[in-house]
Amino acid sequence: MSVLKDTATVNEEDANLLVLIIDTNPIVWRKSNFSLKEALRHILVFINAHLALKHDNDVAIIASHVGVSKFLYPIPMTHENSDKTIFPNMYQKFRVIDEKVIANMSALFEDVDTPNNYPDKASSMMAGALSMALCYINRITKADEIGHVKSRILIISVSPDSPYQYISIMNCIFSAQKLCIPIDVCKVYGSDTPVFLQQASHITGGKYLKLEMPQGLLQFLMIAFLPDRYNKKYLCLPGEERVDFGAACFCHKKIIDVGYVCSVCLSIFCRPLDECSTCRTRLTLTSVRQNGRVI
Amino acid sequence: MPTVIVAHFKTNIYEYLEALQKSTLDKLYEEPATCLAIFRLLPSLARQLVMSLLFSTQIMSKADLRQWIKNDKESLSKFEEALDKLQKLHIMIEQENKTIALNSSFKQKFQECLTGGGTHQSFGKLYNKPHRHSQSNSHKLPDIKTLDEHAKTKWEEILHFMVGTDRMNSPGASVLKVVTKANLMREKEGKGLEITNKGFQFLLQDVNTQVWAFLIQYLDLASEMLHMNVVEVLNFFFMLGSLELGQDYSVEGLTDTQRQLLDDLTNYGLIYRPKKSSKRYYPTRLATTLTSGNSAIVSNSSSNNPTDDDDSATEQGFIIVETNYKLYAYTISIF
């Protein structure tokens, strides 16, 4: 029997868990004139800054790659890691995490088969990464008996959202909303459309920011994305106010602005159907024709 | 409960630091470990303000900073409180032309702390030489349990001495000096030392607050009577807070003042040394939790430290068989 934990209210003394999802699609990073290596330098300092804020703060890092999503930190020890060298010039906690991230990122890029075999090389496995993030947060929250740990997700994105992942991403977003987990999005490169991540930050109470100057990544991260849930209450943070509520149809995964919605399960379709493919309700179109407008 | 505990020990150190001279504070900020420890003492909004300015090269005024804050009363009062604390600790300095900037020494060293640069060795130099006695049984390397035992024994010695229980060992001379100076005990004619009201209140506080109160009094004593360098002593305390439990560190690289500290700190239970002349030392849990706010183990019965999973994992279950052949098994639940 567990005491009902309040995950919504945040106190100054709470520990913060930041789950960072880094979009590592190598093809898109190469197109931007800001390399992933350089971006990783900024991101590691940002991670150290987050850990510096409080002794109890923790971080989890997931790479959203082409065809696969992987945890960069923490990963369970698969072999006896007795490399306990301590470096006197750096706080041990920072160094351990930074080195693990770099090592695992290198390992991820060494595997070229998975991305090669995956058909859609233009986007990354954002839905997979988000699901893994939410599962991890759920595990940590359940293990935390006193409701001391408050979580949030930050996505550093470069590739466009894939319409094939629309349903999965939306499900993740609604779960995050229910658990009061804000999703912040930092768009380093790439156009805004399609706009699932914008909706993610809007619905969950996070911020969406598109960087004009990727070289200033660290400073943007420090000002806009470092404040934890407690500080956000007192700060005016930069972010997009307009949200484009585009959606993808369930049948063809096309991005549509106007469509047909099942009145029972709210599935979206681009053209009228006799039976909803999700909930099998018989749909009739008499009401549409009666209005005299056929779209 | 945790909220109140953390606030207490922070207030102690904070008041002490505020009373220091600006030049002393500037010297303190030359060590990245100290910058990190003092940074963590600041209120939440103050920490965010420091981070936002840390890597920026722009010239800002107080009004510019105010733009970052929401326009309601609570936010503005928190902002004023944050700025006030930052200025009192000389982390933010208001220049003559109304601009406000981070203390340049703090800025540079804190950047080094986050990026891992510099050659300061501020986070503890590791003892790299092979252990000479690791093979023989008489000089076993201490494990975490030994360190906890040592810390608990030494600290409780002090507490028991204050309460007046008859114990075999009385704590060292420096403890007596600190305790008298802090007005926790006073001289009673013929009967030795007796505990005061303040001493009773001290006993009721949590361990972190007690340790810091003790260390601060020690600091005053050290600077007045032993002419120790306050900056070096404080740097050592803050460095202790950033060390790893169970790891041995070398005394090489410590200043003379800091080496003098080692004996006293061993007596208080913050450090463990295999021998008095040993070239290495082990921080105990009392030391590593100095700046983290986690509770240091003192009592055997309950460990508040959430990362200590040794105790809970070894909790034994048991089985009862009654004479009517009923069997009850109490085991660890998997849920």
Q: Are residues B96 and B162 in the same domain?
A: no
Residue A3: predicted pLDDT: 45
Least CB–CB distance from B3: residue in A13, A226, A231: A13
- Mean pLDDT, chain A, integer: 86
3-state helix, strand, coil in chain A (%, to 5): 40, 15, 45
Residue B78 has pLDDT above 90, yes or no: yes
What are the phi and psi torsion angles at B51 (to 5°)? -65, -40
Q: With beta carbons under 8 A apart, name residues in chain B contacting A94.
A: 114, 116
Least CB–CB distance from A234: residue in B51, B69, B113: B69
Residue B108: predicted pLDDT: 92
> What is the percentage of chain B residues whose pLDDT exceeds 90?
19
**pTM, full prediction:** 0.85
Under an 8 A CB cutoff, do A89 and B69 touch?
no
Q: Are residues B95 and B182 in the same domain?
A: no
Q: With beta carbons under 8 A apart, name residues in chain B contacting A12.
A: 3, 43-44
Four-point Cα dihedral B107, B113, B116, B121, nearest 10? 110
Residue B105: predicted pLDDT: 92
- In tens, the pLDDT along B149-208 reads 888 888 888 888 888 776 666 777 788 888 888 888 888 777 677 888 888 888 888 888
Least CB–CB distance from B44: residue in A12, A52, A56: A12
Residue A211 near chain B (CB below 8 Å): no
Coil, helix or strand for B284?
coil
> What is the percentage of chain A residues whose pLDDT exceeds 90?
46
Q: Are residues B243 and B175 in the same domain?
A: yes
Report the gap between the CA of A146 and the closest CA in chain B (Å): 10
Residue B301: predicted pLDDT: 35
The chain B residue lying nearest A90, using CA atoms, is B116
- In tens, the pLDDT along A270-294 reads 888 888 888 888 887 655 555 556 5
Q: With beta carbons under 8 A apart, name residues in chain A contacting B80.
A: none
Give A131 or A273, the one with higher predicted confidence.
A131
Q: What is the C-alpha separation between B271 and B22, in angstroms, rounded?
A: 30
What is the arithmetic mean of pLDDT over A256-277? Answer: 87
Q: With beta carbons under 8 A apart, name residues in chain A contacting B244.
A: 86, 92
A208 forms beta bridges with A185
Identify the domain containing residue B49 by its residue range. Answer: 11-115
Question: Does residue B126 form part of some domain?
Answer: no
Residue B134: predicted pLDDT: 44
Question: Does residue B122 form part of some domain?
Answer: no
What are the extents of the domains in chain A?
Answer: 15-232, 246-295
Residue B207: predicted pLDDT: 85
Question: Does residue B131 form part of some domain?
Answer: no
Residue A49 near chain B (CB below 8 Å): yes
Residue A63 has pLDDT above 60, yes or no: yes
Least CB–CB distance from A52: residue in B36, B75, B247: B36
What topology does CATH give the domain A15-232? Rossmann fold (3.40.50)
Q: With beta carbons under 8 A apart, name residues in chain B contacting A216.
A: none
What is the DSSP-derived secondary structure letter of residue A5? Answer: P
Exposure string of B301-334, with b = 16+ CB inside 10 Å and e = fewer, is eebbbeebeeeeeeeeeeeeeeeeeeeeeeeeee
Residue B297: predicted pLDDT: 52
Q: Are residues B142 and B109 in the same domain?
A: no
Q: With beta carbons under 8 A apart, name residues in chain A contacting B78.
A: 234
Q: What is the C-alpha separation between B30 and B234, in angstroms, rounded?
A: 12
Q: Are residues B35 and B68 in the same domain?
A: yes
Q: Are residues B48 and B162 in the same domain?
A: no
Residue B82 has pLDDT above 80, yes or no: yes
What is the DSSP-derived secondary structure letter of residue A215? Answer: G
Residue of A12, A97, A234 to mutate for B, most B C-beta atoms under 10 A: A234
Question: Does residue B192 form part of some domain?
Answer: yes
Q: With beta carbons under 8 A apart, name residues in chain B contacting A233.
A: 70, 75
- B28 CB neighbour count, 10 Å cutoff: 25
Q: Are residues B272 and B171 in the same domain?
A: yes
What is the arithmetic mean of pLDDT over B250-273? Answer: 85
Cα–Cα nearest to B235, from B217, B247, B219, B248: B219
- In tens, the pLDDT along A74-84 reads 887 655 454 55
The chain B residue lying nearest A217, using CA atoms, is B55
DSSP one-letter string for A6-68: --S---TT-EEEEEEEEE--HHHHHHSSS-HHHHHHHHHHHHHHHHHH-TT-EEEEEEE-SS-
- In tens, the pLDDT along A210-239 reads 998 889 999 999 999 999 999 998 998 888
Q: Are residues B183 and B261 in the same domain?
A: yes
Q: Are residues B94 and B236 in the same domain?
A: no
- In tens, the pLDDT along B289-308 reads 888 766 655 443 333 344 44
Q: Are residues B61 and B94 in the same domain?
A: yes
Q: Are residues B83 and B215 in the same domain?
A: no
Number of domains present in the structure of chain B: 2
Beta strands in B52-121 (DSSP E): 60-61, 92-94, 99-102
The distance between the two most distant Cα atoms of chain B, rounded to a whole number of Å, is 89
The chain A residue lying nearest B79, using CA atoms, is A234
Residue A58: predicted pLDDT: 93
> What is the percentage of chain B residues whose pLDDT exceeds 70?
83
Q: Are residues B149 and B237 in the same domain?
A: yes
